[in-house]
């Protein structure tokens, strides 16, 4: 009975959950800080934990696997029109658009003085508007054919697509006026990143709004086996939801305004730093360096972080399970309990700080 006071003081000190409460946030903070140096910024707390559990990595093409810096490499214009005229009309329709194609068209057309009114955008397909009182459609060849009721030159269209270029069409109610082919270079580390993800056991998928032949051409160069093309934003979203219903944990990587819905739907989403603001706002992580291998480093770090969290939780629980009976039995004095609690917390923090060190090969 004479020991009731020190025992009563030791027990709550020993059971103080400092180490347990520090186990996860210290590891997450250390991993997040380390990844900033790799150019990957986690904007939501659960992003790294979800990335570690991802089973499918889904990529957009333009601006993600490619640089998104499109250049006009070829064009086919119908009789009675010239390239400059068609580019001027296209640039007027693309006024204010953030899409890489729009920037490429405006850059190529320069200052032409034309303006468009009543512009309406169909996400993932194209847009329409009036230029000099004439209605025009600009977008995917299929979209222009459906809206204008006119047919593209199938031979010219296939020739432009065979080189793996992105092809868009310009048409009005009388004819498809022009076909424009835009080239976009692959990111230097795209193939390396895809190979690393596949080696880590991830299923890599390409979802593209471009024609299937163009998407397959890009996928073949970097080693992606599962490819889907001619997709509208709603189709991409439906595909991701279908994967999730099958039990997949999806990490979506994209950059454009058309990717915002599917980025928001994925369990974890990564937006390219050079992409649109809407895509960045919808994402859980930002790839600031535009290096796709930075995402691979993020995946590896996420796995290490989960392992450290498990170690921290195991230590904290083991300490409390062993120390509590000893304190209740009177073997631990209050000052010993205070030292033990502090040491336990320091061990957890020190273990988390190991994430800041470079992992040896």
Q: Which residues are catalytic?
A: 60
54/266 Cα distance (integer angstroms): 10
Q: E strand or H helix at 117, and its extent?
A: strand 116-122
Angle at which helix 190-199 crosses helix 212-222, to 10 degrees, equals 70
* Residue whose token pair is 């910024």: 41
The CA distance from 343 to 355, in Å, is 20
Rounded (to 5) percent helix, strand, coil in the chain = 50, 20, 30
Q: How far apart are CA 227 and CA 30, in angstroms?
A: 36
Residue 91: closest CA among 80, 83, 100, 103: 103
Instruction: Confirm if 144 and 126 have CB atoms less than 8 A apart.
Output: yes
Closest CA relative to residue 230, chosen from 123, 137, 140, 99:
140
Specify which residues 52 forms β-bridges with.
none
What tokens appear for 252 in the block? 């979506």
Which of 318, 316, 338 has the alpha carbon at shortest distance from 10? Answer: 338
Structure tokens at 289: 């360096």
On whether the CB atoms of residues 144 and 102 are closer than 8 A, the answer is: no
Rounded to whole angstroms, the Cα distance separating 136 from 94 reads 12
Residue 32's nearest CA partner among 11, 18, 46, 22 is 46
């Amino acid at each position: 009975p004479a020991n009731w006071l020190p025992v009563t003081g030791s027990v709550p000190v020993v059971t103080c959950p400092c180490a347990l409460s520090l186990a996860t946030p210290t590891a997450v903070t250390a991993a997040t800080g380390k990844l900033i140096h790799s150019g990957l910024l986690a904007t939501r707390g659960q992003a790294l934990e979800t990335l570690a559990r991802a089973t499918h990595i889904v990529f957009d093409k333009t601006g993600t696997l490619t640089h998104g810096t499109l250049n006009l490499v070829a064009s086919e214009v119908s009789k009675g029109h010239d390239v400059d005229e068609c580019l001027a009309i296209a640039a007027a329709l693309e006024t204010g658009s953030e899409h890489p194609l729009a920037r490429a068209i405006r850059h190529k057309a320069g200052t032409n003085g034309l303006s468009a009114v009543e512009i309406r955008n169909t996400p993932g397909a194209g847009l329409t508007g009036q230029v000099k009182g004439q209605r025009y459609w600009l977008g995917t060849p299929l979209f222009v054919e459906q809206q204008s009721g006119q047919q593209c030159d199938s031979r010219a269209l296939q020739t432009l697509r065979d080189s793996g270029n992105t092809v868009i069409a310009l048409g009005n109610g009388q004819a498809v006026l022009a076909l424009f082919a835009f080239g976009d270079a692959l990111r230097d580390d795209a193939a390396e990143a895809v190979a690393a993800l596949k080696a880590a056991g991830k299923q890599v998928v390409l979802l593209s709004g471009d024609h299937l032949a163009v998407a397959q051409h890009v996928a073949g160069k970097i080693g992606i086996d599962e490819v889907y093309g001619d997709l509208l934003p709603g189709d991409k979203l439906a595909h991701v939801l279908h994967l999730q219903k099958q039990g997949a944990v999806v990490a979506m990587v994209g950059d454009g305004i058309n990717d915002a819905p599917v980025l928001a739907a994925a369990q974890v989403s990564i937006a390219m730093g050079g992409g649109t603001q809407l895509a960045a706002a919808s994402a859980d992580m930002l790839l600031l360096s535009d290096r796709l291998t930075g995402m691979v480093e993020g995946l590896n770090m996420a796995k290490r972080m989960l392992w450290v969290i498990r170690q921290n939780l195991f230590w904290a629980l083991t300490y409390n399970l062993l120390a509590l009976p000893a304190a209740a039995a009177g073997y631990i004095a209050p000052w010993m309990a205070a030292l033990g609690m502090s040491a336990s917390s320091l061990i957890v923090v020190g273990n988390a700080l190991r994430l800041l060190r470079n992992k040896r090969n």
